[in-house]
A = this chain, B = another copy of it.
Amino acid sequence: MEPLRAFCGPIIHALSASELEIIPSGAIVVNSEGRIQLLLRDVNPNDPLGPITAAMPPAPPDQPPTPIAIHQLLPGRFLIPGFVDTHNHAPQWEQRGLGQGMHILDWLEAITFPNEARFADPSHARRAYASCIDGFLRQGVTMASYYGSLHGEATNILADLCLEKGQRAFVGKCNMSRHSPAYYRDASIQESLDVTEACIAHIRKVDPEGKLVKPVLTPRFAISCDNEVLRGLGEIAKHNPDLPIQTHFNEAEQEMKATKELFPEFENEIDLYGHFGLLGERSILAHCCHMTEYEMQRFKELRCGVAHCPASNMTVGGGFMAAPVREFMRRGIKVGLGTDSGGGYSSSMLDAMRLAIVASNAREVMSGGKDKGLSIAEVFYLSTLGGAEVCCLEGEIGNFAVGKAFDAIVVGTTGADQGIMTMVGEDEGLPMMFEKFVMTGDDRNIIQVYVQGRLVKG
């Protein structure tokens, strides 16, 4: 009989945007499916097995109890949920950091399209995507919503590699049938849609239950899609009510102005994407920097989710933008964080959290004090449970609630685990270690990473 695993030690996770639970000595029992069977909040570290056994449902009379393997965390270590990166361009992994100071459309032309075009070559895709997935797993990203390139084969490779390496992911072939150079554009409207359907079919074949990897509809943005492509994707969405949908939304003034010129019949992007049947609770809309009252209301009604990407919003893409995250949260609009690697210069969700604090502090000034800056607990929520909600995966991941998958990070903060972090002496408490990790840690403090109970780092 495969033993249950019990991870024993300090545990920190978000119960909601306003509730950070800090458990100094707890235990998480994980079953053979990689699901959380039990969360205990007060376990004697010298005798974890006793209380765990007592809390387990009794074995049937004629069966022996399931054995339990104890994984006791070393001193200075604690467990947190894996990070959810709600907006990530997998083919841009290797170009990250380039193109500072460029506006979004110029950056696409000069840096991004030439790089993404290389994914026409499956061997390039295999090498670059393997590096990408390894790089994000190493940094604790247990779930990523990936934009692929426009290529069907490369997109299938990305999905295969996520499965193979054990990263939870949404994977989408990027639709772009116009307004990009001829060397990097869907061959036709029909091909754009056909390749999309083929990728969906492939991903459903390799992961029939979508346990780890799911397809996602991925129109790059309205500028790059003919009306027929948007309409076709809306049709696919209608016939596949489980499919998530992702696109860029109100990212930058240059982009919004170009969109308005192409679609003069729509007052705003929410009406545009809504018209084509692309908005609903499954929609993950990246950036959302500039929002009118009407768009805010529609977001709430439609239950769209926001992928907030502070790194790219404050650097590449057209200057400095601080999305109204506090206002989204106040209205109950779903928000998560995205690295936006490579528009975002950092591939670290820790940086995304820090930069979300910076952006929210700027927003506080720009709103005349109305939108208060975000706390560490709040950005941690955004990077875990908030992201899960945006992906409609809050029943599966985001924290350590019983029944969810065990997607987790073992954080180390002392001794050999320390990296560049520093501690105030030996007596540092758990809340302080956590705060230090969020503000000053990096992948060297991410000792082990689990996805659905499978060890994928460490």
Partner of A135, one of B100, B365, B422: B422
Asked if A361 and B314 sit within 8 Å, CB to CB, the answer is: yes
For residues 119 through 154 of chain A, which have their beta carbon under 8 Å from a beta carbon of chain B? 131, 135, 138-139
A262 at the interface (CB under 8 A from B): no
A295 at the interface (CB under 8 A from B): no
Name which of A36-44, A76-84, A235-243, A435-443 contacts chain B. Answer: A435-443
Partner of A96, one of B362, B373, B440: B440
A450 at the interface (CB under 8 A from B): no
Asked if B98 and A436 sit within 8 Å, CB to CB, the answer is: yes
A37 CB → nearest B CB, Å: 35
For residues 363 through 408 of chain A, which have their beta carbon under 8 Å from a beta carbon of chain B? 364-365, 373, 375-376
Asked if A93 and B442 sit within 8 Å, CB to CB, the answer is: no
Asked if A100 and B439 sit within 8 Å, CB to CB, the answer is: yes
Asked if B373 and A422 sit within 8 Å, CB to CB, the answer is: no
A426 CB → nearest B CB, Å: 11
Asked if B320 and A365 sit within 8 Å, CB to CB, the answer is: yes
Partner of A422, one of B131, B358, B364, B438: B131
The residue on B at minimum CB distance from A372 is: B101
For residues 181 through 214 of chain A, which have their beta carbon under 8 Å from a beta carbon of chain B? none
8 extra A-B contacts, CB within 8 A, seeds A319-B364, A319-B365? A96-B436, A97-B436, A315-B361, A320-B362, A345-B440, A348-B420, A355-B358, A358-B358
A346 at the interface (CB under 8 A from B): yes
A115 at the interface (CB under 8 A from B): yes
Partner of A358, one of B97, B320, B373, B442: B320
For residues 65 through 104 of chain A, which have their beta carbon under 8 Å from a beta carbon of chain B? 93-98, 100-101
A423 at the interface (CB under 8 A from B): yes
Most buried by B among A322, A373, A420: A420
Cα distance, A355 to B94, chains bound together (Å): 22
Cα distance, A339 to B265, chains bound together (Å): 50
Contact-residue bracket for chain A: 35 or more
A15 at the interface (CB under 8 A from B): no
Tell me which residues across on chain B come within 8 A of A425, comparing CB atoms. 94
Tell me which residues across on chain B come within 8 A of A373, comparing CB atoms. 101, 319-320
Given contacts A315-B357, A358-B358, contact A101 B443 (CB under 8 A): no
Partner of A361, one of B319, B436, B438, B443: B319
Partner of A320, one of B96, B135, B361: B361
A424 at the interface (CB under 8 A from B): yes
Cα distance, A438 to B101, chains bound together (Å): 14
Asked if A100 and B376 sit within 8 Å, CB to CB, the answer is: yes
Partner of A420, one of B347, B365, B422, B436: B347
Tell me which residues across on chain B come within 8 A of A362, comparing CB atoms. 314, 320, 322, 362
The residue on B at minimum CB distance from A317 is: B361
A432 at the interface (CB under 8 A from B): yes
A354 at the interface (CB under 8 A from B): yes
Tell me which residues across on chain B come within 8 A of A94, comparing CB atoms. 422-425
Cα distance, A320 to B96, chains bound together (Å): 26
Tell me which residues across on chain B come within 8 A of A100, comparing CB atoms. 357, 375-376, 435, 439
Q: Could you list some 29 contacts between A and B, CB below 8 A? A: A94-B422, A94-B423, A97-B435, A97-B439, A98-B435, A98-B436, A98-B439, A101-B373, A101-B375, A135-B420, A135-B422, A314-B358, A314-B361, A314-B362, A315-B357, A315-B361, A319-B361, A319-B373, A320-B358, A320-B362, A320-B364, A320-B373, A345-B354, A347-B422, A347-B440, A348-B420, A355-B358, A358-B358, A420-B443
Asked if A432 and B98 sit within 8 Å, CB to CB, the answer is: yes
Cα distance, A435 to B346, chains bound together (Å): 13
The residue on B at minimum CB distance from A114 is: B424
Cα distance, A364 to B320, chains bound together (Å): 8
The residue on B at minimum CB distance from A138 is: B420
Cα distance, A191 to B94, chains bound together (Å): 57
Asked if A93 and B314 sit within 8 Å, CB to CB, the answer is: no
A254 CB → nearest B CB, Å: 14
A231 CB → nearest B CB, Å: 35
The residue on B at minimum CB distance from A355 is: B358
Tell me which residues across on chain B come within 8 A of A139, comparing CB atoms. 420
Tell me which residues across on chain B come within 8 A of A361, comparing CB atoms. 314-315, 319-320
